[in-house]
Amino acid sequence: MRLPLRSLISLAVLTLMGPLGLPASAKPAAPAYAVDGDCGGRPATTVRMALGYCLGLVWQGSGADGPRMPRGLLPLSGGDWLVTDLGGWETGRGAVWRLSFDADGAARWRRLAQGLSMPHTVARGPDGRIYLSEMNRILTLDPEAADPAATVRTVIGDLPDNRLHDNRHPLSSFVFDGDGALLVNVGAPSDRCLDVRGRPRTDGSGGCADSAETAQVRRHAYLGDGRWAEDSTVFASGLRNSIALVRHRSGTILQGENSVDLTTPDHPYDEINVLRQGGHYGWPYCVDLTTPLPGWSAARARCDRRDPPVALLPPHAAPLDLVYYEGSMFPELRGRLLMSWHGFRRAGGRIVAAETDGQGRPLTDRGGRYAIYPRGSLPYPAGAPSVRGKVLTPGWDTTAGRQPRGAPVVLAVAADGSIWVTDDRNRAILRIARSEIAD
């Protein structure tokens, strides 16, 4: 079924779909984005943006056509896109879709592969082939083949089969290093490595029993011709959930850390880390700069021996993607680090463009403040490094009848320099373009 883009104005988004081919579940309907005016050739949403920017609606799902939980984005030649579809937090419900457009801008979907388990990252490899992450493997497929599903091939298998209730952080993600190696996220299997009574679950040395083969970024060496070593080494550890990974052209590897889920809305802070070979970044012992987590004594935590973050992010911001902007549409953003803050709490629902140095590291201020919804701001700890940058989406909060709270996941820069965004909670794909209105 083809949905003309502008007809979305009058459509209320239906519930997230159930398993492929089955009726919709009983989940509440995702609120629809209202549109008003034009945003670089797409209907403009009502989201209040930074001066000079607008947020256009590319597509918002209703019915069985298209992804249920759009996550990864990859531009193809000719204006098409690959979109990974998480499908739901169960195995076998994910898919990969190809998004094309008719002459009138209507979205056209073709499902290339299905039955996948929580696919997330999609990227082009050093050999030009396309690679995707599932929960427990890295695979490749050819979207140009007559039958793309028949081209699916496992590149790295036997990653932890992290079912949601056995492992708090089931998604795999990856980034290619300069030598072609794959750096792969393996999330922590618990929030803080505590037992049901709140006591540390320790190994024989007194450390966390969960962290020997998890809570790390693994390195798989490149063997050439689309092949990687199944065996891996630990690149960096003490990382609760490294969904957001990016490599700068200088070689710097950044990671966005989703910190632990303490019930307080203003603590702990999320992080940007510069990863190094052999580094340990604190999980589950430390948060912020040198603060031991509840349940772990200072002697066990040894926070002064952990690698501190290069910058703090707001509590529960939930960074899910990092992208260096090198497009043509926004010269003022070139070289900046784009971040998606997916969190549902008051600091989340934002896209931020952070200033960086020549090595791709975020420039920081000491202390500073961060914005919260519905209005106002809160301070970072005195003297702590916080990212210096611009919030591109300062008004992406819920407005009844006009827009939902944003849930940005993956960012991708199109050939024209526009910034495309997946929103999995609201089943939408959006596009940041240059605003023609100066207000």
pLDDT tens by residue, 70-109? 999 999 999 999 999 999 888 899 999 999 999 998 999 9
Beta strands in 291-346 (DSSP E): 291-292, 311-315, 319-324, 337-341
pLDDT in tens, 129-183: 999 999 989 999 999 999 999 999 999 998 876 554 455 788 889 999 999 999 9
The mean predicted confidence, pLDDT, of the chain is 90
| pLDDT per residue as tens digits for the range 217-226 | 999 999 999 9
Which residue carries 């037992």 as its tokens?
195
Q: Compute and round to an integer the Cα radius of gyration of the chain.
A: 21
pLDDT band at 31 (very low <50, low <70, confident <90, very high): confident
| 274 bridge partner residues | 254
If phi > 0 it is left, if psi is from -120 to 50 it is alpha, else beta; for residue 216 that is beta
Tokens of 292: 């031991």
Distances (CA, A) of 27 to 17, 308, 345, 366: 9, 40, 20, 43
pLDDT of res. 429 = 98
pLDDT at 161: 65
Position 5 scores a pLDDT of 43
The answer to whether residues 287 and 381 touch, using CB atoms and an 8 Å cutoff, is: no
Residue where the block lists tokens 């695979």: 139
Model confidence over 222-275: pLDDT tens digits? 999 999 999 999 999 999 999 999 999 999 999 999 999 888 889 999 999 999
Q: Using an 8 Å Cβ cutoff, are 306 and 208 in contact?
A: no
Query: Do residues 69 and 79 touch, judged by C-beta distance below 8 A?
Result: no
What is the residue type of 47?
A: V
Angle at 239 between CA 170 and CA 310, to 5 degrees: 135
pLDDT of residue 169: 83
Distance between CA 352 and CA 380 in Å, rounded? Answer: 16
Who's near 137: CB < 8 A, 6+ residues apart? Answer: 154, 155, 156, 157, 158, 159, 172
- Asked if the model's pLDDT at residue 6 lies above 80, the reply is no
Domain 30-65+158-434: state its class.
mainly beta
What is the pLDDT, as a whole number, of residue 1? Answer: 40
Candidates 292, 252, 294, 290; CA nearest to 273 is 252
Give pLDDT tens digits for 361-403.
Answer: 999 999 899 999 999 999 999 999 999 999 999 999 999 999 9
Q: How far apart are CA 256 and CA 244, in angstroms?
A: 5
Domain boundaries, the chain: 1-29+66-157, 30-65+158-434
State in words which class domain 1-29+66-157 has: mainly beta
